[in-house]
Amino acid sequence: MTGGELALAALAVPLAGVAFAAALHRNPDWREAATFATAGMLFFLVVSLAPAVLAGERPSVVLFEMLPGLPVALAVEPLGWLFAAVASSLWVVSTAYSVGYLRANGEGRQSRFFACFAGAIFAAVGIAFAGNLLTLFLFYEILTLVTYPLVTHHGTDEARRAGRVYLGVLVGTSIVFLLPAVIATAALAGTLDFRPGGILGGRVDATAAGVLLALFMFGIGKAALMPFHRWLPAAMVAPTPVSALLHAVAVVKAGVFCVVKVIVYVFGTETLAALGGAAWLTAVAAFTLVAASAVALRADNLKRRLAYSTVSQLAYVTMAASLLTPAAVMGAALHLVAHAFGKITLFFAAGSIYTAAHKTEVSQLDGIGRAMPWTMGAFAVGALSMIGLPPLAGFVSKWYILTGAMGARDWLVVGTLAASTLLNAAYFLPIVYRAFFVADTAGGGHGHEAPAPMVVAQAVTAAACVALFLFPGLAIALAKALT
Amino acid sequence: MLAQHLPVLVAVVPLVAAPLIVVARSGFLGWVTALLVAAATTAMSAALLAQATASGTISYAIGSWPPPWGIEYRVDAANALVALLVSAVALVVVPYARRSVSAEVGQDRQYLFYALLMLCLAGLLGMALTGDAFNLFVFLEISSLSTYVLIALGRHRRALLAAYQYLVLGTTGATFYVIGVGLLYLATGTLNFADMAVRLADVRDARPLAAGLAFITAGIGLKLALFPLHAWLPNAYACAPSAVSAFVAATATKVSIYVLMRVYFSVFGVDAVFRDLPTGAILAVLSVAAMFAASAAAIVQPDLKRLLAFSSVGQVGYITLGISLGSAPGLAAAMAHVVNHGITKGALFLLAGAMALRLGGTGMDRVAGLARTMPVTAFAFVVGGLSLIGVPGTAGFASKWALVSAAIEAGRWWIAGAVLLSSLLAVAYVWRFVECAYFREPPAGAPDRDEAPADMTGPALALTAAVVAAGLFASPVLEASTRAAAALMGFAR
């Protein structure tokens, strides 16, 4: 198969997964086997695209013309490949986790769950491989809609309210800010294709570029830039596998992926720098980063703390991209990968704690490390990666972001990074400390370790955090190709 | 031989079919006749559109009396497109109507339903295709009178009130139109649109023309439910039989909008309407008011069909907003939304009719838990709702894209902002249905799974599929609309 056909197949496979999950409604074992098969198939297809992308090719395919002169098209470039690789590899792992979680917790509507899950991956792959802004926007909206049933999975009043916030913020920002930005780009540039160096060079003045950038950045609500971050903690009402794969990886990474993509391929870092840069964006991201960390510090609910940690970590990517220097953009791309593996590990652990011990609050976790050593061990690895300590993935990306910030002599960013490292430590380490070093005074015990598929899943992602530190070559090579 | 009479045959065939159905006095024969007629008019409209696209304007002189003395039928890329929309919707609605009408209209009156539907179809097609201002008035009355009776066939007594209300306001509208035409006739001495367009340029005294334009705007504004002249519409759509709601909502206001376009862009011309008079500003303000006020009103309606009706008033606002830009891209966007909103609203009303059949009504309490009892219908309704919002991949997105592009191109950023902000109100009213259907329990005693029969869900789903197809492959409609706008603006030349 040619590269373009591979990309098309990668888009079709999760769509087939939707059909399988719906068709095998009455046979859970086969349904889950089919989900595994599609997830594995997708990962294989994405991996087989790697040599071409690394060799500098840009496999592309035009599907059909949606609007006059504006087709739906796929084009695989390094950043998109990285995002697709992260999403597809973690889909395999989280399928195992989901099976364990849904069965252990006796969740209803499992077929709808797996169908929408595959649908979300379909949309994520579409975003990753989008060849132009219109295609990106199409799949961006699909991703919002297909994850809505997952967020409101439990069907309770609380879920319904959370669904309103989720949809209101994501659809609202995308229609009111992102869509006019896309249409204005089409009008100004005459094309919506992603091109190295951007498409707006020489076609906008500084004011227009500033307005357009603001529309894009606040329009991409999935990147959770304050004040449009509320949907992310609201979405925590969903079952934990959803929070793990979608709200730590696919959906939020789609957000920051779009941010980087717009800055690199629509504006072009050099064009944007020449037009006065994005200093306000750096400031907003820095504020989001610190403010979200402060909220996380005070959150007792574990998933809420993780959610605000995600808001803060997403701001790392936006902030790094807004620096517009090669090293910082590399750091942004690497952080997209590193945070995905770290945060999914943390969410997996949170779900395991809920499943095995029925605990949701940080204050209930005293001494749980003894009952659930694997889970809390994985949690510790994820937490340390978030803080950015070696030998873990978070260190690599933070290194590049810091290098970029110092290169740009942006001491605000350097200071923010230092402060946030301390804040990260302040809200993650107490959890690890409680779990392993504080005796369980409340009594009643914590039961036992989570079901095997869940333990395996979190062990794999924790190991991946280490592996990304030891063998960062592929990710660095791809990130470098971006600049 | 027959082909050259197509422009007039499109309107004459349903006009002749109506009395034949009355003579036959059979509901079944009426249905078969209506089906054949709808298929025939669809085929003829498609042929006309292809011909007009390929070789430009087609002029047909009735009785071989040459225009401007005789009545001229003048088909171009604009009105052929409207005729195709009207006939195609009829072709979808008639198969659906068989069971829906059996359930909602008394057995002895069913043949009258089909006869009236044919009259209404003839009226709308005649309005679209005629090139004569007074002939248009005649067809306007044919379509209006038949619509009043069709609405009165609704199963509740409220339908009579709704029909009466529409009768009073609709007649006022038609009267205003004819007064406006009278003023233009006094000034130009002709009723032929093309001739009028030429002669208007030589008229010295502009005041009667402005008065004529104002009368026509108000009169047609009533018929197309231009805010705040929309009072008749919610009751009429909500109380009419389901098949009538679908047909009228998808076509009647759309043909009136086309008439307004024809008068503005072809007869008077852009300069006279938008430069010499403040029409654009007035229309823009009313449109934006419709987009916000009517959409907000839709959110709180206790009944699904009323919700859709208020949504229609808001969506008409997008169309008139496109017209108010007074530019070719704006007009093309308006025309695209005429088509896209027509099929969207048609699909939604057909689905609402399927719900009415099974649930006995479309009150919000009745559709609770619909996802359990009628999952396919509920999902299709959500898809149609997404098109009202303008989500990419649906028809509504394509026209919204065109409209926002046109506003940006005209430098009217506030209009682009208003279009997008008001979409959020559509999110609210569509999600009211979603939460009702997916989060609430079905009423006690509701059957486990009970979709409407295939002859109703089939047409409804076909039109829903067309909504998605028109969204993914939007170029044909947008390009046809661009050609239509060019034809409307280049009329006199």
Residue found by looking up tokens 């067309």 in the block: B466
- Percentage of residues in chain A having pLDDT higher than 70: 99
Pairing state between β B58-61 and A70-75: unpaired
CA B431 to the chain's CA centroid: 25
3-state helix, strand, coil split of chain A in percent (to 5) is: 75, 5, 20
B contacts of A130 (beta carbons < 8 Å): none
Show Cβ contacts of residue B164 under 8 Å, excluding neighbours closer than 6 positions. Answer: none
Cβ–Cβ gap B408/A171 under 8 Å: no
- Report the pLDDT averaged over residues A315-335: 90
- Residue B68, helix vs strand vs coil: coil
Cβ–Cβ < 8 Å for B299, B456? no
Intervals of chain B under pLDDT 70 = 1, 491-493
Cβ–Cβ gap A180/B439 under 8 Å: no
Q: Is B457 on the interface with A (CB under 8 A)?
A: no
A contacts of B401 (beta carbons < 8 Å): 67, 183
Cβ–Cβ gap B416/A145 under 8 Å: no
Lowest mean pLDDT among A49-53, A336-340, A433-437, A444-448: A444-448
Instruction: Note the pLDDT of residue A206.
Output: 85
pLDDT tens, residue by residue, A238-274: 888 888 888 888 899 999 999 999 999 999 888 888 8
Residue found by looking up tokens 């056909």 in the block: A5
Cβ–Cβ < 8 Å for B426, B296? no
- Report the pLDDT averaged over residues A198-210: 86
Cβ–Cβ gap B401/A67 under 8 Å: yes
- pTM (2 d.p.): 0.93
Q: What are the C-alpha distances in Å from A142 to residues A63, A115, A156, A336, B347? A: 17, 14, 23, 21, 21
Cβ–Cβ gap B435/A160 under 8 Å: yes
Q: What is the DSSP letter of A389?
A: -
Cβ–Cβ < 8 Å for B387, B344? yes
Q: At what angle do helices A411-437 and A279-298 cross, to 10 degrees?
A: 20
Cβ–Cβ < 8 Å for B485, B78? yes
pLDDT tens, residue by residue, A32-90: 888 889 999 999 999 999 888 888 888 999 999 999 889 999 999 999 999 999 999 99
Give the helix/strand (H/E) hosting A65. strand A60-67
Cβ–Cβ gap A67/B398 under 8 Å: yes
**Two tokens, residue A340:** 């995905």
pLDDT tens, residue by residue, B276-300: 889 999 999 999 999 999 999 999 9
How far is Cα A310 from Cα A77, in angstroms, rounded to an integer? 25
- Report the pLDDT averaged over residues A425-436: 89
Instruction: Note the pLDDT of residue B493.
Output: 45
Q: What value of ipTM does the predicted structure carry?
A: 0.90
Considering only residues 401 to 430 of chain B, which have any Cβ-Cβ distance to chain A shorter than 8 Å? 401, 404-405, 408-409, 416-417, 420-421, 423-424, 427
Listed residue (B24, B89, B35, B84) closest to B14, CA to CA: B35
Integer-rounded Cα Rg, in Å, for chain B is: 21
Cβ–Cβ gap B427/A72 under 8 Å: no
Cβ–Cβ < 8 Å for B308, B301? no
- Report the pLDDT averaged over residues A421-448: 82
Residue B226: count of CB within 10 angstroms of its CB = 26
Longest dimension (CA), chain B: 73
pLDDT tens, residue by residue, A360-377: 888 888 888 888 888 889
pLDDT band at A442 (very low <50, low <70, confident <90, very high): low
Q: Is B295 on the interface with A (CB under 8 A)?
A: no
Q: At what angle do helices A302-323 and A279-298 cross, to 10 degrees?
A: 160
- For B104-132, b where at least 16 C-beta lie within 10 A, e where not — what string? bbeeeebbbbbbbbbbbbbbbbbbbbbbb
What does the domain layout of chain A look like in residue ranges? 278-483
**Two tokens, residue A61:** 């395919």
Chain A residue with minimum CA distance to B436: A160
How far is Cα A40 from Cα A34, in angstroms, rounded to an integer? 10
Residue ranges of the alpha helices (H) in A190-301? 206-219, 231-234, 240-245, 251-261, 269-274, 279-298
Q: What are the C-alpha distances in Å from B355 to residues A328, B381, B463? A: 56, 10, 16
Listed residue (A8, A157, A18, A123) closest to A75, CA to CA: A8
Strands (DSSP E) along B183-262, which ranges? Answer: none
Cβ–Cβ < 8 Å for A110, A83? no
Beta bridge partners of B97: none
How far is Cα B429 from Cα B425, in angstroms, rounded to an integer? 6
The minimum CA-CA distance between B398 and chain A, rounded to whole Å, is 7
* DSSP track, B276-334: SSTHHHHHHHHHHHIIIIIHHHHHT-SBHHHHHHHHHHHHHHHHHHHHHT-SHHHHHHH
Instruction: Note the pLDDT of residue A443.
Output: 60
**Two tokens, residue B246:** 């679908």
**Two tokens, residue B91:** 């072709």
Integer-rounded Cα Rg, in Å, for chain A is: 21
User: Which residue of B379, B403, B433, B475 to mutate against A (max A Cβ within 10 Å)?
Assistant: B475
User: Which residue of B318, B409, B434 to mutate against A (max A Cβ within 10 Å)?
Assistant: B434
Q: At what angle do helices B328-359 and B242-261 cross, to 10 degrees?
A: 170
